[in-house]
């Protein structure tokens, strides 16, 4: 199992490769706001764990294991953003909240949240009921 920090790297590397076709150490460092030397260290660690293959002058490629987990990590992040948005969390908190919780939920919890998002998406009336409750609650607390 990758550590939270390895997950952040794999998630970002997967996105960079999807968007640009490659992920350079400098791009990863910029995206994660870390020093390039930290990226090099982590990339070597990810190479050792068979998530990717890194060659200093040729760049890196994800292995099939790395691609598989990278894709799931990106899905998990997007699902949690959709979930928080759906339950009415203010936009300005969503990204930081997801970064704070994404590594700490089981895949079972992720799948159950997926069910819940689907539950609300399948019938807009369900969202309206939730909004009604939220409206009542905010009136009560004022
Ligand atoms: Mn994330």
Centre of ligand 1 from the C-alpha of residue 33, in Å: 13
Consult the annotation and say whether 11 binds a ligand: yes
Centre of ligand 1 from the C-alpha of residue 94, in Å: 11
Centre of ligand 1 from the C-alpha of residue 119, in Å: 24
Q: What is the pLDDT of residue 1?
A: 82
What is the C-alpha to C-alpha distance for residues 31 and 20, in angstroms, rounded to an integer? 13
What is the C-alpha to C-alpha distance for residues 98 and 121, in angstroms, rounded to an integer? 20
Residues of the chain with pLDDT under 70: none
* pTM (predicted TM-score): 0.90
Q: What is the pLDDT of residue 90?
A: 96
What is the C-alpha to C-alpha distance for residues 96 and 86, in angstroms, rounded to an integer? 16
Beta bridge partners of 59: 55
Nearest to 52 by CA among 66, 41, 39: 66
Note whether 46 and 66 are within 8 A (CB). Answer: yes
Run of H or E including 54:
strand 52-55
Note whether 60 and 52 are within 8 A (CB). Answer: yes
Nearest to 77 by CA among 93, 101, 108: 101
Q: What is the 3-state secondary structure (H, E, C) of 82-129?
A: HHHHHCCCCHHHHHHHHHHHHHHCCHHHHHHHHHHHHHHHHCHHHHHH
Consult the annotation and say whether 104 binds a ligand: no
């Amino acid at each position: 199992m990758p550590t939270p920090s390895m997950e952040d790297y794999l998630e970002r590397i997967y996105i960079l490769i999807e968007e640009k076709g490659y992920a350079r150490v400098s791009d990863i460092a910029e995206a994660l706001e870390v020093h390039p030397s930290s990226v090099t260290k982590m990339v070597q660690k990810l190479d050792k764990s068979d998530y990717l293959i890194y060659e200093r002058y040729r760049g890196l490629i994800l292995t099939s294991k790395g691609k598989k987990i990278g894709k799931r990590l990106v899905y998990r992040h997007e699902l949690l953003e959709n979930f928080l948005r759906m339950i009415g969390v203010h936009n300005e908190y969503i990204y930081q909240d997801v970064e704070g919780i994404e590594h700490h939920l089981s895949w079972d919890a992720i799948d159950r949240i997926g069910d819940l998002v689907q539950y609300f998406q399948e019938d807009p009336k369900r969202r309206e009921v939730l909004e009604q409750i939220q409206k009542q609650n905010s009136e009560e607390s004022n």
